Amino acid sequence: MADDAADRRDAEVDRLAAAIRACRLCRDAPLYHPRLPDEPRPILRINARARVLIASQAPGIRAHLSGVPFDDPSGDRLRAWMGLDRERFFGDGVLIAPMGFCFPGHTADKGDLPPRRECAGVWHRRLFALLPQVRLMLLIGRHAQAYHFRRLGRPLRAGQSQGDLVRDWRAHLGAGPRTFALPHPSWRNSAWIKRNPWFEAEVLPELRREIAQAMAEGAT
């Protein structure tokens, strides 16, 4: 009976993932303006049995063109933080669900726009309700951190900086999914990482240990 229930949930997750990948809401009937500037290409990696979730911001232009998340220098750095090679990172043990599933477009100065709000409103609650097996969450960037900490009943404090949130990592390893707030692995954040050596000395070793344990549990 347990195997039957797991198989049904697998099928339900697969159906929802297919619906997300087919979504064209931001192009055809956007809830917020302006409409998505590029052709929608929702990008996510979902597996109903995986224990590790990467909740990021939104795909960049490179992922939009290739269809592969974190297939860039930022992804290389993230994999180094996690202690995973490409094969394990893109394997069945890791979920990738950004706050915005599509590349949101560029600002006037060629930066990335914030994630589209439609994704969280239309898809996220349904998606995460189907993933109770997630044991470990990596929250990358402020949008993902604010959404998921609020969803878990642990809303961010007013005025709490991202540096303070990352530094407070021990407080996020209690009840419910064990959670790490991370800076974006973009090389633009190298100066912040250099100024805060505790991140590599204290946070990353524990992050790798938690990832190894969660993935080992998922494989059994």
Confidence of residue 202 (pLDDT cuts 50, 70, 90): very high
Confidence of residue 1 (pLDDT cuts 50, 70, 90): low
Residue 218 has pLDDT above 90, yes or no: no
The pLDDT of residue 146 is 94
The pLDDT of residue 3 is 74
Confidence of residue 6 (pLDDT cuts 50, 70, 90): confident
More confident residue, 98 or 2: 98
Percent of the chain with pLDDT over 90: 80
Q: What is the pLDDT of residues 75-86, one digit of tens each?
A: 999 999 999 999
Percent of the chain with pLDDT over 70: 98
Q: What is the pLDDT of residues 11-42, one digit of tens each?
A: 999 999 999 999 999 999 999 988 998 899 99
Confidence of residue 158 (pLDDT cuts 50, 70, 90): confident
The pLDDT of residue 73 is 92
More confident residue, 101 or 7: 101
Query: Average pLDDT of the chain?
Result: 93
Of these ranges, 33-37, 50-54, 159-163, the one predicted with the greatest mean pLDDT is 50-54
The pLDDT of residue 220 is 61
Residue-range domains of the chain with CATH? 2-219 (3.40.470.10)
- In the 3-class helix/strand/coil scheme, how is the chain assigned residue by residue? CHHHHHHHHHHHHHHHHHHHHCCCHHHHCCCCCCCCCCCCCCCCECCCCCCEEEECCCCCHHHHHHCCCCCCHHHHHHHHHHCCCHHHHCCCCEEECCCCCCCCCECCCCCECCCCCHHHHHHHHHHHHCCCCCCEEEEECHHHHHHHHHHCCCCCCCCCCHHHHHHCHHHHCCCCCEEEEECCCCHHHHHHHHHCCHHHHHHHHHHHHHHHHHHHHHHC
The pLDDT of residue 174 is 77
Q: What is the pLDDT of residues 130-151, one digit of tens each?
A: 999 999 999 999 999 999 999 9
Q: What is the pLDDT of residues 162-198, one digit of tens each?
A: 889 999 999 998 767 999 999 999 988 999 999 999 9
